[in-house]
Chains A and B, each alone.
Chain A
Amino acid sequence: MVSNVLTALVVGVGLGVFLQKGRFCFVHAFRDFFAFKDSRVTKAVLVATTLTMVFWSIAYALGYYQGFWTPDWGLTGLLGGFVFGVGMTYAGGCASGTLYRAGQGYLHFWLTLAFMGVGYAVFTVLFPTLESAYFEPLTFGTGVTLFEVSPVPAPLLALGVAGLVLLAYATIVGRSAAGGAGGTDDAAAVRADGGTPTSRGLGASAPAVGLRQFVAGTREYFRGFAEIDDWKAASKRPWDPRTAALGITALAVLWFTQVSIVGVTGPEARWTGYLLQQVGVDAGSYEYWGSILFQGKGVGLTVDMVMIAAVILGAFLAAFWSGDFSIRVPKRRRVPNAVVGGFMMGAGSRLAPGCNIGNIYSGLAELSVHSFIATAGIIAGVYAMTHWIYRDVGCAI
């Protein structure tokens, strides 16, 4: 137990540091990709998720793991994910982003956290009704991860998926490199004239071109470390999102072998029950807190609650060190974003269930069927909300 608390502190503080220094934000990853095709953070999310999948599959195959998180799958993931995606885009931060920005001094995101708590509490009160009216009719199958059901050993499966992701990525990069500035037009022209030798040649070479760029870029990234002469100054500057992705992956592997997959809103919902218990509410008597979140073990502190609290601490330390910490008071017109967005994130993460970390990061990395659906729901929510917020200036996608 003591070692688990220590692990929770190390993982939480570490995650806080890497999230803050890498500005690792899932809203940014999708919103800015839709709005103006900025794919920098999108790629960092892809790197982190894919690497984590490979390492987790190895840990699973070797037996060094504490269990998967595989909720039953169905339309709940799509609907709850959509509500969560709209909420996080409106609030301006995902579940993990809200945590590290709270540590950075944003009162906006403390307010978001508070209203996520309201979302968890309202959900808990309504849970008995929701169970029969929402979860039962919309759930189609038992939760499962492909690691457990695949006839192929998990590491091979993970490497196969990682290979496909890399190939798809290389093809996109290669196509745009081959097409130059007018890449999309060229690609459309190629599609239009179908099977001419030139177009087939381009199609075949695109992944190779992309792979070469990928290798060159990766090499350049690691060479960049050798060029750092003043490590103290470098540590204060913002870090490459890929550094954050690598750090997060390492911590997620440690967490997976010692405790569980990485989640944020589950522990937060437990925090809500725990804090209400402290002010006299009998949280354990509510079915959702008592028998589901705390699994009948009584309302108390769990290691994952310690871990996510440590994320706030880690983000504070990183921001303070970088000169990025300050108490930031939100503009009055942004208060509805924190209040409504936070509530939608809290409620949406319970309806799905799972947030961006549970589903997009951990869920995809453990190849959970539920999380594929929930990820689609979250991304659809971000897409819809981004188009609404950008309605005056237009989106690229």
Chain B
Amino acid sequence: MTGPSLDDFVEMPDEVDDETAEQLADQATETQDMTGEVCPYPQVEAKKAIQTLDSGELLVQETDHVPSTENVPRAVGDDADARVWRSGSGLYRIFLRKR
């Protein structure tokens, strides 16, 4: 991150479809159940977990907190590539692959 600039106003993680989400969930090295949690705990837990993973390994967070789909990826920043799956009924999965 190079500090504040206007383009990071609207930066969103890529969304994945249902099938990809299932495939990714099977590959997970670690899965965190973050349902019923609110900010910033999913961010803190994601940062902790990413530090313990090896490059290429996948962390999955299951969450029902909408803002987490944006600020968890931003919290881990350059440490991981993020993708998000939206169920359409208030449940989300955040996939973080460590770089």
* Residues of A that sit less than 8 Å from B by CB: 23, 25, 27-28, 31-32, 35-40, 43-44, 92-93, 104-106, 108, 172-173, 175-177, 179-181, 183-184, 213-214, 216-218, 220-221, 238, 240-242, 319, 323-326, 328-331, 334, 337, 386, 389-390, 392-393
Contact = CB atoms under 8 A, between A and B. Distances in A.
B90 A326 contact: yes
Contact of B9 (A104, A241, A386, A390): A241
A contact patch SS: helix
Contact of A323 (B3, B7, B89): B89
Contact of A242 (B9, B41, B90): B9
Interface string B3-19: 11111111110000000
B75 interface: yes
Given A36-B77, A238-B12, A177 B5 contact: yes
Interface of B: 1-12, 35-41, 43-44, 47-48, 51, 64-67, 70-71, 74-75, 77, 86-91
A328 B75 contact: no
A214 B6 contact: yes
B5 A37 contact: no
23 contacts: A25-B39, A27-B39, A28-B67, A32-B40, A43-B6, A92-B40, A92-B41, A173-B3, A177-B5, A213-B6, A217-B9, A220-B6, A238-B66, A326-B64, A326-B90, A328-B64, A328-B65, A334-B36, A337-B38, A389-B41, A392-B48, A393-B47, A393-B51
Given A92-B40, A324-B66, A35 B75 contact: yes
B41 to A, nearest CB: 7
Given A214-B6, A329-B36, 14 more contacts: A31-B39, A32-B43, A35-B43, A37-B1, A40-B11, A92-B39, A176-B2, A176-B3, A184-B3, A328-B35, A328-B36, A328-B65, A337-B38, A393-B51
Contacts of B35: 328, 331
Q: Which of A28, A242, A324 counts the most B-chain CB atoms under 10 A from its CB?
A: A324
A265 B2 CA distance: 37
Contact of B5 (A32, A38, A213, A323): A213
B75 A240 contact: no
Contacts of A216: 6
A28 to B, nearest CB: 6
Contacts of B1: 37
Contacts of A213: 5-6
B6 A217 contact: yes
Contact of B2 (A25, A38, A183, A330): A183
A329 B91 CA distance: 12
B9 A334 contact: no
Contact of B39 (A28, A105, A238): A28
Contacts of B37: 330-331, 334
